[in-house]
Amino acid sequence: MKTTQAIEKWEAQMNHIKTQLQKHGPMRPGSLSRQYNVCGTVGCRCKDSKHPRRHGPYYQLNYVYRGKKTSQFIRREILGQVRTELANYKQFRRLTERWIGLALKVAHARDKPVP
């Protein structure tokens, strides 16, 4: 394939990525973890000597933004929405990563002197 044809193909792929990004849904970075806690109440089930049943699960979201680690609890009612947002974020990263890869191919092809 000629260089110009290759560049056109990569540019078409980048345009496809741009279209996908335009209809991209709400997102947020991070990962969810499940936690079970022990409370301070005397005689509570969570401190039963034989079959302790700890409280939870509680859902905690951890993420890093601009180098700052943040952790927050997520209400069970919005868990589904948060999971969708986390998946959207991963998709966003995949798309932009692919875009960068294609942009590099185009740039390198244009770096070469015309024969």
**Which residues here bind Zn ion, judged by CB under 5 A?**
39, 44, 46
User: Prior bond to 57 cis, omega within 30?
Assistant: yes
Find where tokens 């180098």 sit. 67
We find the least distance from the C-beta atom of residue 43 to Zn ion, in angstroms, to be 9
CA distances to 17, 35, 52, 93, 101 from 39, rounded to whole Å, are 49, 13, 12, 39, 50
Smallest distance, Zn ion to C-beta of residue 34, A: 17
Nearer to Zn ion, 2 or 34 (CB): 34
Nearer to Zn ion, 42 or 114 (CB): 42
Closest separation in Å from C-beta 85 to Zn ion: 31
